[in-house]
Amino acid sequence: MRGRPQRKRLIRFMPEITYFKPAGIPLRNLPEVILNFDELEALRLAELEDLDQESAAKKMKISRITFQRILHRAHKKIAESLIFGKAIKIEGGEIMTNEQPEEDNPIPSGIRRTWGQFTGRGQGLGGSKVCVCPSCKKEFPHNRGMPCMQIKCPECNTPLRGKFCR
């Protein structure tokens, strides 16, 4: 007997970087931990936005207890990867992204807005057409295939960010 279908979670942020790994070890030699987009969104709301569980759950259009379970899974996966030296791959999950206007929902180009499973181009291509220096606010054209964070501002030597990122 099956339970009711999982409710889709509202995601308002899509990361430019979708892999994290320990330095000095090739990715092919590392086991992976999959962190779903809803788990990343829960971490963002709880840890970076400092929202309480009730407010964060409302933003994701889920119940507070579901938010708590998602956040717990995210913390557990990150702890596992840090303690056991595993790579973190950010992908997948039953999500929705198309309820907010474009400026409030920064989704990289090449990623299809959809109900259901997340689909995209893959890791490392980035989605911003413009890289921005967080210090001096100057904008530079994005080099497709290279994350903005790997490029430094020629003016102040600060790593750049994609325009859709914070």
DSSP string computed for 81-115: HHHHT-EEEE---EEE--SS-GGGS---TT-B--E
pTM: 0.59
Do 53 and 113 share a domain, yes or no?
A: yes
Q: Are residues 160 and 82 in the same domain?
A: no
Residues 95 and 133 placed together within one structural domain of the fold? no
3-state secondary structure of 119: strand
What is the pLDDT, as a whole number, of residue 81? 95
Q: Tokens for 162, please give them.
A: 């994609």
Cα–Cα distance, 122 to 49 (Å, whole number):
27
| Residue 3 belongs to some domain of the structure | no
Range of the domain at 140: 128-166
Residue 122 lies in a domain: no
Largest distance between two CA atoms of the chain: 62
pLDDT the model gives residue 124: 40
**Strand positions, DSSP E, the chain:** 9-10, 19-20, 32-35, 87-90, 94-96, 115-117, 130-132, 139-141, 161-162
Residues 15 and 82 in one domain: yes
Are 97 and 137 members of one domain? no
Q: Which residues of the chain have pLDDT under 50?
A: 99-126, 165-166
Q: How many structural domains comprise the chain?
A: 2
% of the chain surpassing 70 pLDDT:
78
Return the pLDDT at 101: 42
Q: Same structural domain for residues 85 and 28?
A: yes
Give yes or no: residues 110 and 164 share one domain. Answer: no
- Does the residue 1 lie in any domain? no
Looking at the domain assignment, is residue 123 inside a domain? no
pLDDT of 108: 44
Considering the domain architecture, whether residues 105 and 147 belong to the same structural domain is answered as no
Query: Are both 78 and 141 inside the same structural domain?
Result: no
**For position 1, what pLDDT does the model report?**
58
**How confident is the model at residue 128, as a pLDDT?**
63
Q: Same domain, yes or no, for 102 and 136? A: no
